[in-house]
């Protein structure tokens, strides 16, 4: 990677080669409180968002699924139940601490036979072409340094007829909601991070990373540019979150 290339780490401009390490430090810090903070930050609504994503994925028995940026495994756990013993789910994260938290939770839930655990950088997916029926990334794409490269990698490893699903924070569709959301993100989130996780800075970064992420139409175009067709997106909670979907035909 060109050492002169820069990217965003929240609102800060950093060398592109440094971002992955900075993101890793954030999630090392928040891993043990990740589930608690998700419930607090979203008032539990993140579970509904993920439920809608599962439905839109159309994953079924016997299929192979790659879940990138799995975190503690909310999506991967549901996929493991859907694909059954004949299917396969690869639960992955670039952050080893997050992946270990997720692995422990998956084992506690009884998912042991059809789930693999791998530390994966979404920009360099270590699988052959046409390996998966579905690739998902939930609340992780905004942390990827080269999003276009990651989307091209997802396209490469998806089988013809398969699809990608990107669940991510996005841009509220009306101004009043946007103002409320900004206040919540930049005032309430860091305060909750400080009180609950003893880490205001990491949650301030998370709020900033959401603001720097492409809006719905821009991300849709990026997914199309990576090679996907029949791309669409579904706004949830007034556009606070959007689910983007694309197909490899």
Q: Taking residues 55-71, what's their average pLDDT?
A: 97
Q: Has 121 been labeled as part of a binding site? A: yes
Q: Taking residues 46-57, what's their average pLDDT?
A: 95
What pLDDT band is residue 3 in, cutting at 50, 70 and 90? low
Q: Taking residues 93-109, what's their average pLDDT?
A: 90
What pLDDT band is residue 218 in, cutting at 50, 70 and 90? very high
Residue with tokens 């991967």: 76
Lowest mean pLDDT among 105-114, 121-130, 237-246: 105-114
- Strands, DSSP E only, in 81-199? 88-93, 115-119, 132-138, 158-169
Q: Is residue 86 part of a domain?
A: yes
Q: Has 114 been labeled as part of a binding site? A: no
Q: Is residue 181 part of a domain?
A: no
Total number of domains constituting the chain? 1
Q: Is residue 79 part of a domain?
A: yes
Q: Has 133 been labeled as part of a binding site? A: no
Contact 53, 28 (CB under 8 A): no
Q: Has 199 been labeled as part of a binding site? A: no
Q: In angstroms, rounded to a whole number, what is the distance separating the alpha carbons of residues 20 and 232?
A: 28
pLDDT tens-place string over residues 176-193: 999 998 988 888 888 887
Q: In angstroms, rounded to a whole number, what is the distance separating the alpha carbons of residues 228 and 98?
A: 29
Residue 156: give the domain boundaries: 20-173+205-247
CATH of the domain at 212: 3.40.50.150
Choose among 181, 152, 187, 154: nearest CA to 169.
Answer: 181
User: What DSSP string runs through 79-104?
Assistant: HHHHHTTTSEEEEEES-HHHHHHHHH
* pLDDT at residue 1 tops 80: no
């Amino acid at each position: 990677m060109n050492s002169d290339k820069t990217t965003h780490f929240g609102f800060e401009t950093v060398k592109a080669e440094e971002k992955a390490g900075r993101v890793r430090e954030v999630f090392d810090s928040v891993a043990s409180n990740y589930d608690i903070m998700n419930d607090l930050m979203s008032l539990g609504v993140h579970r509904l968002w993920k439920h809608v994503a599962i439905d839109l994925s159309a994953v079924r028995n016997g299929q192979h699924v790659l879940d990138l940026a799995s975190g503690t495994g909310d999506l991967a756990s549901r996929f493991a139940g859907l694909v059954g013993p004949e299917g396969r789910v690869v639960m992955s994260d670039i952050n080893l601490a997050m992946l270990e938290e997720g692995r422990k939770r998956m084992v506690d839930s009884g998912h042991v036979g059809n789930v693999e655990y791998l530390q994966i950088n979404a920009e360099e997916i270590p699988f052959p072409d046409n390996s998966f029926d579905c690739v998902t990334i939930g609340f992780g794409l905004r942390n990827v340094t080269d999003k276009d490269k990651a989307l091209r990698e997802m396209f490469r490893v998806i089988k013809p007829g398969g699809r990608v699903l990107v669940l991510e924070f996005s841009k509220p569709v009306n101004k009043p909601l946007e103002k409320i959301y900004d206040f919540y993100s930049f005032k309430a989130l860091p305060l909750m991070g400080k009180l609950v996780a003893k880490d205001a800075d990491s949650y301030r970064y998370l709020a900033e990373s959401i603001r720097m992420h492409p809006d719905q139409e821009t991300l849709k175009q990026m997914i199309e540019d990576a090679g996907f067709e029949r791309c669409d997106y579904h706004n949830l909670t007034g556009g606070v979150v959007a689910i983007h979907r694309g197909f490899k035909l």
